[in-house]
Amino acid sequence: MNNGVVHVIDDDEAMRDSVAFLLETAEYQSRTYDSAAAFLNVLATLEPGCVITDIRMPQMSGMELVRRLRDEGASFPVIVITGHADVPLAVEAMKAGVVDFIEKPFGDEVLLSAVRQAMAREVDQHAEREARAEILARIESLSGRERDVLDGLVAGRSNKVIAFDLGISPRTIEIYRANLMTKMGASGLSDLVRMTLLARR
């Protein structure tokens, strides 16, 4: 079975069931919701995966759902399903971070291809979140002075300039630098900078 869950949101029961059946035949787990509100009500408890949502729904539209997910920091890749008349809305949704939009009626492979791409993106994002959390934990382990040296290095300053800024000797900076490189698990300065920039996103 494919990893991750596809969350299908549509007020049309026939469409929900049809999409869920298609996903199951392709060995995807799916959950269905009859409204954006029903999905948001359980958002905190949901398994990782992606979202397929109709753009035109009562109470809360797919577009409003996309904005709510973004505001709440939820990282689900979103696929929007749209009627022919909804192309301007779909373009707006893409600008808001939707990964794909699919016009009705659509072929099975069109939807499955979009789901595969969204799931691959979720895996990448999940790996990045884990890496970021690990780097943040390493930064937390640094002493205050080591963090000062790290900030100087990431800003592109030399040991000599950092030493002058902090009022300590360049030799002491070298010791702090060696210590923080070890604690951060960095293979070199470029690796250290890359990790720190990822942590600060």
Domain ranges (residues) in the chain: 5-128, 141-199
Residue 82 CA to residue 56 CA, distance in Å, equals: 7
**pLDDT tens-digit map of 87-142:** 677 777 777 888 888 888 889 999 999 999 998 887 777 788 888 899 999 999 99
Nearest to 36 by CA among 86, 80, 75, 73: 80
**141-199 CATH pick, 1.10.287.180, 3.30.70.260, 3.40.50.720, 1.10.10.10:** 1.10.10.10
pTM: 0.68
Tell me how crowded residue 176 is: count the other CB atoms within 10 A of its CB: 24
CB distance 176 to 145 below 8 Å: yes
For residue 32, the model assigns a pLDDT of 96
Tell me how crowded residue 97 is: count the other CB atoms within 10 A of its CB: 12
Residue 76 CA to residue 174 CA, distance in Å, equals: 43
Question: What does the DSSP 8-state code read for residue 158?
Answer: -
Confidence of residue 1 (pLDDT cuts 50, 70, 90): low
What is the average pLDDT value for the chain, to the nearest integer?
89
**In the CATH scheme, what architecture does the domain 5-128 have?**
3-Layer(aba) Sandwich (3.40)
pLDDT higher than 90, residue 148: yes
